[in-house]
Amino acid sequence: MRTEHLETVIIGAGQAGLSTAYQLKRLGRPCLVLATESRVGDCWRNQWDSLTLFTPAWADALPGMPFPGPAWHTPTKDEFADYLEAYAAQFALPVRLGTRVERLTAGDHGGFVVTTSGGRIEADNVVVATGTFGRTPLVPDFADQLDPGIRQLHSSEYRRPSQLAPGTVLVVGASHSGCDIAFEAIETHDTVLVGRDTGQLPVAYGSPLAKVMYPFILFVLFAHVLNRRNPLGRKQMDHFRQHGGPRIRVQQADLERSGVDWVRGRVAGVQDGRPVLDDGRVVDAGTVVCARDSVRCSAGSTCQCSATTDGRGSSGASSTTRQASTSPDCASSPRRSR
């Protein structure tokens, strides 16, 4: 297996990975971005068809390149994917596509060893920029007890309502993805949503008041209060990852108006092959969609590249590992049209 040495390896070619590469290149520091996808932006292209960002175009630009389009336009997943691809090309960022990171360990003499599908890389620094979407879906314990006639999908596999089998759809998990998928599924299927209430923004998305509040929320609350640099921000980050963030576009009133049956509980087990909620109700589901988070790697970030990390770490100012996690799930929602 061939070995190469690099100053900095960035794992993940999403918005965080590309932004990091841009800044390093601007400083004249050599780096390499590793990505499993065949094209930059495929991590967005491979989401469900109706996905759009939560954030308007003016807030979606990466350093050095504005996002094209009207300021309050909410880009589709494909528009944002194309923007990422154009961004990498514009600044000739060093991205190595089709490369899966299989293991990340501390080097014997400092630095890190990155084992990939294409060889071994020794790096002084590693930036984990894989976001919070994992390659290993978090499947509920009851999944293998369900009747084999029930279609089961993880939210990472969901693309469109035509995938759903006839009958009731049970969506497990009521954070962003769960509420969004339930809101879309109800147009063609009776839909039951089960999961805790994770809260919501105090204003309706897209309203005139939201346009006033959004800059405050993004640049005051999240940029300067709820960030990695203080205990409150780190606590909330862990809470969002483990339990889901507040609803943004699809809110409680939208779910009620659309007819989604939201049960604020959990699936307690299985009876005769059917899911049973903790209030004793048996759901005669044709499809179960699991919209819970994915398994996180030991580096503390959900690892889209399947990297695992050795817990030894490394000392010395010149050998560091960093997480630069920017999650699509924190900035997206299906667009609903009637």
Strand partners, 332: 53
| Angstrom distance (rounded) from CA 17 to CA 33 | 7
Residue 118 class from Cβ within 10 Å (0-12 exposed, 13-18 middle, 19+ buried)?
middle
pLDDT tens sequence across 49-99: 999 998 889 889 999 999 999 988 999 999 999 999 999 999 999 999 999
**DSSP three-state, residue 267:** strand
pLDDT for the residue 55? 84
pLDDT tens sequence across 216-273: 666 666 666 667 677 776 766 665 666 566 777 788 999 999 999 999 999 999 999 9
| 93 close to 18: Cβ distance less than 8 angstroms | yes
Q: What percent of the chain has pLDDT over 70?
A: 73
Q: How far is CA 278 from CA 62, 140, 193, 255, 263, in A?
A: 44, 14, 13, 21, 10
Residue 10 class from Cβ within 10 Å (0-12 exposed, 13-18 middle, 19+ buried)?
buried
Q: How far is CA 136 from CA 139, 165, 224, 243, in A?
A: 9, 24, 32, 18
| Angstrom distance (rounded) from CA 32 to CA 50 | 32
Domains of the chain in start order, with CATH, are 3-134+295-334 (3.50.50.60), 141-200+246-290 (3.50.50.60)
H-run or E-run covering 17 = helix 15-26
